[in-house]
Amino acid sequence: MKFNYLVNKPMVEKFVHRLILLALFFLGGAFVCWAAEDNGEAVATPNFVDQHQRIAKPDLSDRQRIRFLTSTDYPPFNFLDAEGRLTGFNVDLARAICEELGILPRCQIEALPFADIVPALKRRDGEAVIAGLAMNATTRAEFAFSQPYFRYPARFVTRRDRPIESPIADHLADKVVGVTNGSAHAAMLGAFFPAAKLQTYPDRFQGLNAMRDGKIDAYFGDGVSLSFWLESEAAADCCVFSGGPFLSDRFLGEGLSVAVRPEDSALADAVDYAIAQLVAKGRMTELMLRYFPISAF
């Protein structure tokens, strides 16, 4: 069965230089995931769906088309591959949702500049947004959302030879923890882990370099980006996650959801049903392992 892709062609050239790096990066990431499975090591994958929910399978037979709108500049969730093809976790998730609902031939996914996605949904040029549209008071007044299918964890990274004992909150006294200045993670670190000594940096790379070089005890930040850094040449296999993951709606938001027009909440319910089925069948875990070289969880 065919899953229809619509890509805004002028956007391709803009991301070519990024694609080459991504292609090389994800090849390495895929190897790590499969190696972990072959060695029998446990790979942590999250489940944000309450399996005790009883959601009836929706009837979408009257729908002529369901078009998901996304962007191309949010790897690994949605991006263009080295051949200019739309791919990513969100793209494969949209396909899996359509398969689970039995509507794959009527499904499409279109890539637009992020700024154009909301206007396109409002113009009815699409039925759903799967592109990291934040859930907040403003967007909740304008759209209906599915339940979150992904949430961003905060994590501590430490050197392999200097891990911090768990529970990490009880072992941070006098530990110097790096964090990006002015970030949500800096605020979260100060609120949740007051015993730590904060050392701020202009960006995460300076903080991570300091931690890698043993100048500080740990770095605290976004678990997703840190999972990729741990597999990068810059990390040089120096470091590991310590403690966590840590979630907070207040500091990190409510996560990723599918947005639809407010009068189409039935479609959001259908997405919830499909995702619950994907989790129960293990397909969500497969997607996580495909796109994340080290679990952020």
The per-residue pLDDT for 134 is: 87
Task: Tell me the average pLDDT of the chain.
Answer: 84
For the segment 91-120, what is each residue's pLDDT rounded down to a tens digit? Answer: 999 999 999 999 999 999 999 999 999 999
Could you tell me the fold of the domain covering 4-150+254-291? D-Maltodextrin-Binding Protein; domain 2 (3.40.190)
Sheet of 78-80, strands arranged across:
73-74, 78-80, 86-87
Lowest mean pLDDT of 13-27, 73-87, 110-124, 176-190, name the range.
Answer: 13-27
The per-residue pLDDT for 289 is: 86
Q: Was domain 154-252 assigned CATH 3.10.105.10? A: no
Confidence (pTM): 0.79
pLDDT surpasses 90 at 53: no
Ordered by start, the domain boundaries in the chain are 4-150+254-291, 154-252
Say if CB 68 and CB 110 are below 8 A apart.
Answer: yes
The per-residue pLDDT for 46 is: 65
Lowest mean pLDDT of 194-198, 200-204, 241-245, 291-295, name the range.
Answer: 291-295
Same fold, 4-150+254-291 and 154-252: yes
Q: Are strands 128-129 and 197-201 parallel, antiparallel or unpaired?
A: unpaired
How large is the average pLDDT for residues 189-196? Answer: 96
pLDDT surpasses 80 at 19: no
